[in-house]
Amino acid sequence: MAYWHIRLHPSSKNQERWEENFNEKELLTKISLIGMGVSQNSPRLDAFKNEMKNGDIVLVRRNKKPIALVQVLDGVKDRRQNAYNQLDWFRYARKVKVLDFADNREDFTSASLQVLRKSDDEKTTTYKYIDDWYNEVRPIDDTYHFSKIKEVYIEKYKMFNQFTLNLCNEEGKPLPIIVIAGKNGTGKTSLIEYLSEYSANSDTDNLKILKKSENNNFISENMKKGESGIIETREEYKNSIQYIPIALDESSIKDIKTIEKLFVDYWLNQVKFHNKRNDEITKDLQKFITESFDGLDLGFTYSAIDENDNIFFQNKNGKKFKISELSTGEQILLSRVLYLFLKGYKNKVILIDEPELSLHPSWQNKILKIYENFAIYNDCQIIITTHSPHIISSSKNEYLRILRKKENGNIEVINDLKAHGRDINSILFDVMGEVAYRSREFNDKIDKLYIAIDDRKFKEVEERLQELKKDYGAKDKVIMEAEMLISVFSNEE
């Protein structure tokens, strides 16, 4: 939610009539609109159409005289024709709810009396003026809403016993991305299933959550299941959680037909309810793809949707093609992130189980950054579980949480491992717990080769070396090291 102030004035040719007859209070009472009559190229119109959001608070004024405080309810409408005879200049409008009329309130003072201005600096008198007024009149049930999880405590659930998981950085702020890794049996999937079902349970475990007030302040709150007085909070939590499970079926997000349907529904919604033109929707989608896939050279972007609901993309050369013509990997990658965008997820906690499935390792290295971009841009918190050393290596150290089973069977959290940028082998051994990254057959053959080298049985050495090269290639690191050792021993002979 943001604060704005606006001056509802007509075009200059109607200035005299406006000063004598225009009544902002009457306008707001009869049709509940605020609007602008500026040209298409005006930066203020761009802010009115694209920056102002539903739920924002707007002070309506005539120069320094406050008229009313309103809350935005809907997107921009292009009112080329309207029934209100004083609005012949009033082309672009947004529906609002009047929170309060000014009456005898003192004059509004601001460093800027532009037609439209956003007030986002808490230190200014303008921000304080609007904030104080809004705090006086805001609805009681509109005080706080759920934002993010700061800490999880589980007294007893499956393999978790007096288990604590911190989801904040060193400054105590909730992280946008949390990567949960560990061996099978350490409860990765059970943990996010627990979080997805938390509000429905009735025992005494609790979460420490962050709640965001309508004036953008934050408070921490312990949310204990079964405790009286937090039913509303649990309902907020339930509505704020989105769980994307590991079981992906025909109707899942990787099914391209599902994405195509979501695409069409999104496009129709933007036209019908937000009064957007096709070129505006195209610009929004292209901006999302550019920002979300920053650092991943896909080589294409969204182009258009035709009258038969066919969705087209285009490459750098301008050649258009359907989404179904992308490679399987590209479809999966694009679908998983487009799904979040097309569903309109904002201010959500999104739980994702093993996002690496069906992705090439080179894309596994980059998908975490894509999710991070999405989380930050849409004020979300994304919690993922993974077995992928590529995702673990690409994770910032502060994002990583490793689950390990202690000798007594309890699960503990390791959050100080330095994995960012490390090679895959060290991730497998040091982070994921001594994973054998070579097959037993290969290791047995290598062992026999080195025994033959130690025994100086060079005929056997050559036979075993050729067999290994045939199976694993001459450029395998271990085979090349063995060849160097053979060369040294041969020279000694």
Per-residue confidence (pLDDT) for residue 80, from 0 to 100: 59
pLDDT at residue 248 greater than cutoff 50: no
Spatial distance between the Cα atoms of 24 and 59, rounded to a whole number of angstroms: 12
Spatial distance between the Cα atoms of 6 and 159, rounded to a whole number of angstroms: 57
Whether the Cβ atoms of residue 234 and residue 197 lie closer than 8 Å to each other: no
Q: What is the pLDDT of residues 82-92, one digit of tens each?
A: 444 445 566 78
Q: Residue 410's Cα: distance from chain center in Å?
A: 32
Whether the Cβ atoms of residue 214 and residue 142 lie closer than 8 Å to each other: yes
Per-residue confidence (pLDDT) for residue 398, from 0 to 100: 92
Q: What is the pLDDT of residues 341-357, one digit of tens each?
A: 888 888 889 999 888 87
Strand 160-166: give its sheet, edge to edge.
Answer: 160-166, 144-157, 206-213, 218-224
Task: Output the 3-class SS for 95-110.
Answer: EEEEEEECCCCCCCCC
> What percent of the chain stands above pLDDT 90?
8
The helix/strand/coil state of 236 is helix
Spatial distance between the Cα atoms of 375 and 349, rounded to a whole number of angstroms: 9
Whether the Cβ atoms of residue 113 and residue 126 lie closer than 8 Å to each other: no
Pairing of β 65-78 and β 3-7: unpaired
Instruction: Tell me which range, 38-52, 94-108, 257-271, is most confidently predicted by mean pLDDT.
Output: 94-108
Per-residue confidence (pLDDT) for residue 231, from 0 to 100: 46
Instruction: Tell me which range, 100-104, 137-141, 471-475, is most confidently predicted by mean pLDDT.
Output: 100-104
205 against 303, higher pLDDT: 303
pLDDT at residue 134 greater than cutoff 70: yes
What are the φ and ψ backbone dihedral angles of 217, each rounded to 5 degrees? -85, 160
Per-residue confidence (pLDDT) for residue 228, from 0 to 100: 43
Q: What is the pLDDT of residues 318-342, one digit of tens each?
A: 888 887 787 776 777 777 778 888 8
Per-residue confidence (pLDDT) for residue 143, from 0 to 100: 45
**Which residues contact residue 112 at a Cβ distance below 8 angstroms, ignoring those fewer than 6 apart?**
126
What are the φ and ψ backbone dihedral angles of 236, each rounded to 5 degrees? -60, -45
Per-residue confidence (pLDDT) for residue 180, from 0 to 100: 93
HSE-CB at 416 with a 13 A cutoff on CA atoms is: 2
Per-residue confidence (pLDDT) for residue 218, from 0 to 100: 58
- Measured in residues, the chain has a length of 493
133 against 136, higher pLDDT: 133
233 against 215, higher pLDDT: 233
Average pLDDT of the chain, as a whole number: 77
Amino acid at 154: I
Q: What is the pLDDT of residues 398-442, one digit of tens each?
A: 999 989 888 888 898 988 777 776 666 666 666 665 555 566 777
> What percent of the chain stands above pLDDT 70?
75
Complete DSSP assignment for 449-482 = HHHHHHTT-HHHHHHHHHHHHHHH-TT-HHHHHH
Per-residue confidence (pLDDT) for residue 241, from 0 to 100: 87
- Nearest to 488, CA basis, from 468, 458, 444: 458
Q: What is the pLDDT of residues 160-195, one digit of tens each?
A: 888 999 998 888 888 999 999 888 888 888 898 888
Per-residue confidence (pLDDT) for residue 250, from 0 to 100: 39
Span 3-138 CATH architecture: Roll (3.10)
The helix/strand/coil state of 173 is coil
111 pLDDT band (50/70/90 cuts)? low
Give whole-number Cα distances, 188 to 109, 182, 353, in Å.
Answer: 55, 7, 9
Spatial distance between the Cα atoms of 37 and 39, rounded to a whole number of angstroms: 7
Predicted TM-score (pTM) above 0.85: no
Spatial distance between the Cα atoms of 458 and 362, rounded to a whole number of angstroms: 40
pLDDT at residue 23 greater than cutoff 70: yes
Per-residue confidence (pLDDT) for residue 82, from 0 to 100: 47
The reply to whether domains 3-138 and 256-398+412-431 share a CATH topology is no
Question: Domain residue spans in the chain?
Answer: 3-138, 144-238, 256-398+412-431, 440-492
Give whole-number Cα distances, 176 to 85, 336, 453, 481, in Å.
Answer: 49, 18, 53, 43
Query: The domain 256-398+412-431: what is its CATH number?
Result: 3.40.50
Q: What kind and span of H or E run contains 390?
A: helix 389-394
Per-residue confidence (pLDDT) for residue 203, from 0 to 100: 55
Amino acid at 31: I
Whether the Cβ atoms of residue 396 and residue 375 lie closer than 8 Å to each other: no
Classify residue 403 as exposed, middle or buried by CB count within 10 Å of its CB (0-12, 13-18, 19+): buried
